[in-house]
Amino acid sequence: MERQNRKEARVYAKISRAALCHNMELMRDSLPDGIRIAGVVKADAYGHGAALVADAIKPYVSFFCVATAEEALALRAHGIQKPVLALGPVFDSDYEDLVQAEIRPSIFTEAQAEALSKAAEKLGRKAAFHLAVDTGMHRIGLSPDAEGVRLAERIAAFPALDFEGMFTHFYRADEWSQETTELQEQRFRDFRKALRERGLSPRICHIANSAGILNLRGTDYDMVRAGISIYGIYPATEMQHPLALEPVLSLHSTVTYVKELPAGGAVSYGGTFVAERPMRVATVSVGYGDGYPRSLSNKGEVLIHGKRCRILGRVCMDQLMADVSEVPEAEVGSPVTLLGRDGEACITLEELAERSGRFHYEILCCLNQRVPRIDS
């Protein structure tokens, strides 16, 4: 479903432009002068809606980063003209489209470089790329050693390529101990020096992710990559919170039915909840088919009229049931907050993650196309 402005929907996510701008301004102001920001909008902007988010943050960023060729081309289709970097590997068959759209791929093998160069030559263009360096995560990237230097030389020698940038990725910068992160920084710094000694000087080096930005690690290069922090979420609960980020997304639904449940009545599939006393039960129009965690069955809560209401029984594909015995004003049409604030009550992403046994990024990324993202 296309992201759109809607006043009513069975379930919808509100995306706060004000919070997006607040978070970007906090990060911008915390960085050394002249450091550029790349906005990471992969996985549909971590479930927030890539087109909407990219439009909101484009005054603050010099680059956009995505994971895949499809995501990069989608940004272009939405009218985003700023440079776009695909952080993950792409197929050889994608290179012509990427070159045509002036999208930078990540390169770390000679075969990739050859395929990209051929695609660029065919189109009569130069193709900019960013070299991915593996400083310890062992996901993608060439090794920052003598062989890596020789490989970088061979990659840069392809005639239709422009060695624009180089990057690595912090994989433990969100931990109390920064020992691993310091080692990654040193490896990257030494590798950049070795390349410079061979006459290779990429114009944009970047290493800091959201955790690096918040910890001011790797923020002294040319650019940083802001990811989850854009959306007002901290990379890990154990991190210090030096910036007062504001959550961007809240999730809402509506009461569609209210019933009186007698003592002994069972609720939802499998009858895993049985009422010990008479209760009022509200049906809410959201389920795991929308990306709401089924693992919140019998233990999650929702907010109705500013009060916490426990989920009863199993979360269904399209609906769930909640106890409104203490919410006499609950009725058909009552708004329901699944994530976010209602009056003084608030359900945080961290609470949902802890109760559901899932990673907090995952909850956002799993909100699917049945959930409109509403620009607010």
Q: Which residues contact 224 (CB under 8 A, 6 or more apart)?
A: 27, 31, 35, 36, 37, 38, 206, 208, 209, 212, 213, 218
> Under a CB-based contact definition with an 8 Å cutoff, are residues 229 and 27 in contact?
yes
Kind and range of the H or E run holding 374: strand 373-375
Tokens (6 digits) for 270: 């499998």
Tokens (6 digits) for 255: 């009461």
Q: Tokens 């002036």, residue?
A: 102
Residues marked active site are found at: 42, 269
Which of 74, 146, 350, 345 minimizes the C-alpha distance to 238? 350
> Under a CB-based contact definition with an 8 Å cutoff, are residues 364 and 42 in contact?
no
> Under a CB-based contact definition with an 8 Å cutoff, are residues 220 and 192 in contact?
no
Residues, the chain: 376
> φ, ψ for residue 271 (rounded to 5)?
55, 40
Q: What angle do CA 138, 231, 291 make, to 5 degrees?
A: 80
Tokens (6 digits) for 293: 């965690």
> φ, ψ for residue 147 (rounded to 5)?
-65, -35
Helix segments in the chain, DSSP class H? 17-30, 42-47, 50-57, 69-77, 95-100, 110-123, 146-156, 179-197, 210-215, 349-356, 360-365
- The shares of helix, strand and coil residues in the chain, as percent rounded to the nearest 5, are 35, 25, 40
